[in-house]
Chain A
């Protein structure tokens, strides 16, 4: 095992994010694995759709403590950018660096063991973020309290409703002392009261100095939470600036994309 903690990438401060001329393409073939035959003959099957260029020469510099919303059409490259920042998917070209403890909430509850209790999953999930047993124990009460799961915390996760599942996932991720928070459209969690508490919890983390990159289609949420806006379109960065200037730009972009039949 490599002792590769998601620690400081080189040359960046905790909470700082650098993306330089980042490009990344994905093959969109139905069968993504290669077969041995192809490897032996040394070529891939011809035909099928061409690779999708998810990121084209994107550069982004985010200072510690900044709050950045990321918007764009479906397929604009928002989630790919987050997966690149989280260090899950490597770039084809360019450079990425994220400083400090990076907590990515790309899918709440990913990796929960369904036969395990909520409590056991807290330990498993914390360990996945590189925490040791004692560090998780010290946050256990806060996580359980925030999740509002009560006695269900000792029931197998398989018996949870989808809302409970997501609440637990968010509660764990929200108590990991992140320097960088990467959140992909996961705030539509549970009921309205819980959503408000999620937002409040994120605000607390920002107040404590965390950097936030939030992908969402909820313009109001982004206006409430973020000061800076990045608009992506077709894998390119088409706007980067204050959110109050960016939102009109984004709405125009989306508006022009749809041809509205003009009343005659």
Chain B
């Protein structure tokens, strides 16, 4: 990996530019999910009680941090090649480094949040279990999935400038359809509508990642085998697809950005 050091430098640069000039700096990454959690707890825990999960704030938080990682990573990766246009036009280096460094920066903050949230959740819910050993593997799959998605989105956006706006419009309904506030299998209303349930659980590729991570941290159990399989296959497919698309389309990048 001749460009390992370049990648390291770009991650450092991203991190630095993110926190520059903000008084609370890294704390914002903690505050954002907490504010979201408070708002949704108010909405779905108090005002319109959803199918109640125990320790609902923790249930919400685990799903939220996964979602925030996914959405922030792809949203910031989308314009990344255009933002670094000066580099792309004037230097030759593996352009994958640009979206990959953006995703890695988000991963760092996500892992930091998770490192705070996991022990708290386990302590409160008593979910210390050997299943935790599977967590690194699931997180690696999540990273691969997000990276593949981000590679595709970034190179597509460089050619078709509608991609980022479409993505940010799609992320909101996508968020509400993701199993963040609810556990799909606890939705009584859908218990006899298997099609709707199937869509909620399996058509949304982010859902199994949320479910798997929540099963381990919040539920203290290994995710069901189909979920684990889905997570592994989705990670491999999306990463391979994203890399292939990026390689195919990157030739003209210096001309289009």
Q: Say whether A138 faces chain B, with CB atoms less than 8 Å apart.
A: no
Can you list 21 A-B pairs, Cβ within 8 angstroms, ordered by A?
A1-B7, A2-B94, A2-B247, A3-B94, A4-B3, A6-B92, A7-B2, A33-B158, A34-B159, A34-B160, A35-B162, A36-B163, A110-B86, A111-B84, A115-B17, A115-B20, A116-B16, A124-B13, A127-B3, A127-B10, A128-B93
Give the residues in chain B near A2, CB-CB below 8 Å.
94, 96, 247
Q: Flag A75-90 by CB within 8 Å of B: 1 or 0 each.
A: 0000000010011111
Q: Which of A129-137, A146-154, A203-211, A239-247 binds B? A: A129-137
B residues adjacent to A (C-beta < 8 A)? 1-10, 13, 16-17, 20, 84, 86-87, 89-94, 96-97, 100, 158-163, 166, 247, 251-252, 254-256
Q: Which of A41-49, A100-108, A223-231 binds B? A: A100-108
Q: Flag A1-31 by CB within 8 Å of B: 1 or 0 each.
A: 1111111000000000000000000100000
Give the residues in chain B near A35, CB-CB below 8 Å.
160-162
Beyond A35-B161, A39-B160, A127-B6, whether A110 also contacts B87 by CB under 8 A is yes
Tell me if B159 and A3 are in contact (CB < 8 A). Answer: no
Say which residue of A1, A88, A115, A128 sits within 8 Å of B100 (CB atoms).
A1
Beyond A33-B160, A34-B160, whether A87 also contacts B1 by CB under 8 A is no
Q: Say whether A94 faces chain B, with CB atoms less than 8 Å apart.
A: no
Using a CB-CB cutoff of 8 Å, which residues 45-103 of chain A contact chain B?
83, 86-90, 102
Tell me if B90 and A107 are in contact (CB < 8 A). Answer: yes
Tell me if B255 and A32 are in contact (CB < 8 A). Answer: yes
Beyond A6-B92, A88-B92, whether A26 also contacts B255 by CB under 8 A is yes
Beyond A32-B256, A110-B86, A110-B90, whether A128 also contacts B6 by CB under 8 A is yes
Q: Residue of A at shortest CB range from B17?
A: A115
Q: Say whether A194 faces chain B, with CB atoms less than 8 Å apart.
A: no
- Least CB distance from A139 to B in Å reads 14
- Least CB distance from A35 to B in Å reads 6
- Least CB distance from B155 to A in Å reads 12
Q: Residue of B at shortest CB range from A89?
A: B254
